[in-house]
């Protein structure tokens, strides 16, 4: 296997997923700052959608989606499961992961791409600057919803899962890069974020 990785929250989700599982995979760095991921050979040989990360499997196939990659790694390396040991637990962690994805990660990231990130992203995808403020508000609504419905200790209950890694990584991105800080009055999420950092070891975005 070989992992194509770079800056940004999505590659960092896979880095943290692998670290938590204590699995190491050879990596290939892709320089997204010069759009290496938006031209050949990356587009033709690795991922025609141009996104990072991508995982080359042993049979040469490329899987280029952060959740599909994490699901695959959890199947291939079943020790320390991060999606769940049973169908019922997997169902719950997948539910929480997609809630995180649609309610926070996507609107937060697009709020960034369509505003501070516009100079970088406007040549790479259709950007909607008119939606930036609204998307950031949607992401804040999502965080408030998680605050209100968080039972803990982790999002999916007693087990630490991909849902925690995804939300924490995008919240870190909001705090450090995207100027969408986690509000201080969301105390349960603030305490949860500290627990995630303690567990994973805090690292700043490269």
Closest approach, Cβ 184 to a copy of itself, in A, equals 22
Neighbours of 111 (CB within 10 A): 25
Residue with smaller CB distance to a copy of itself, 84 or 174? 84
Site for a copy of itself in 63-82 (CB under 8 A): 63-65, 67-69, 71-72, 75-76
**Per rule CB under 8 A, is residue 106 in the interface with a copy of itself?**
yes
Residue with smaller CB distance to a copy of itself, 158 or 206? 158
Q: Would you state the structure tokens that stand for residue 61, as one six-digit string?
A: 């196939």
Question: What is the spatial distance between Cα 167 and Cα 196, in angstroms, rounded to a whole number?
Answer: 10
**Per rule CB under 8 A, is residue 115 in the interface with a copy of itself?**
no
Closest to 8 measured CA to CA, from 178, 164, 162:
178
DSSP for 49-114 reads: T--S-EEE-TTS-EE--HHHHHHHHHHHS-SS-SS-SSHHHHHHHHHHHHHHIIIIIHHHHHHHHT
Residue with smaller CB distance to a copy of itself, 3 or 200? 3
**Positions that interact with a copy of itself (CB under 8 A):** 48-49, 55, 57, 59, 61, 63-65, 67-69, 71-72, 75-76, 87-88, 90-92, 94-95, 98-99, 102, 106, 126, 128, 130-131, 134-135, 137-138, 141, 145, 149
């Amino acid at each position: 296997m070989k992992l194509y990785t770079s800056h940004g929250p999505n590659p960092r989700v896979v880095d943290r997923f692998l670290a938590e599982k204590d699995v190491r995979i050879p990596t290939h760095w892709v320089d997204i700052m010069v759009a290496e991921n938006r031209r050949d050979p990356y587009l033709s040989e690795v991922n025609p959608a141009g996104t990072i990360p991508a995982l080359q499997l042993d049979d040469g196939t490329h899987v280029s989606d952060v959740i599909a990659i994490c699901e695959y790694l959890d199947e291939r390396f079943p020790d320390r499961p991060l999606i769940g040991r049973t169908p019922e637990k997997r169902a719950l962690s997948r539910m929480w992961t997609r809630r995180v994805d649609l309610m926070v990660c996507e609107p937060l990231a697009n709020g960034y791409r369509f505003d501070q990130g516009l100079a970088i992203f406007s040549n790479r995808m259709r950007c909607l600057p008119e939606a930036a403020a609204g998307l950031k508000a949607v992401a804040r609504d999502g965080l408030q919803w998680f605050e209100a419905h968080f039972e803990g200790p982790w999002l999916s209950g007693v087990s630490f899962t991909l849902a925690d890694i995804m939300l924490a990584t995008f919240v870190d991105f909001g705090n450090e890069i995207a100027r969408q800080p986690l509000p201080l009055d969301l105390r349960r999420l603030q305490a949860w974020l500290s627990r995630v950092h303690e567990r994973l070891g805090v690292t700043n975005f490269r």
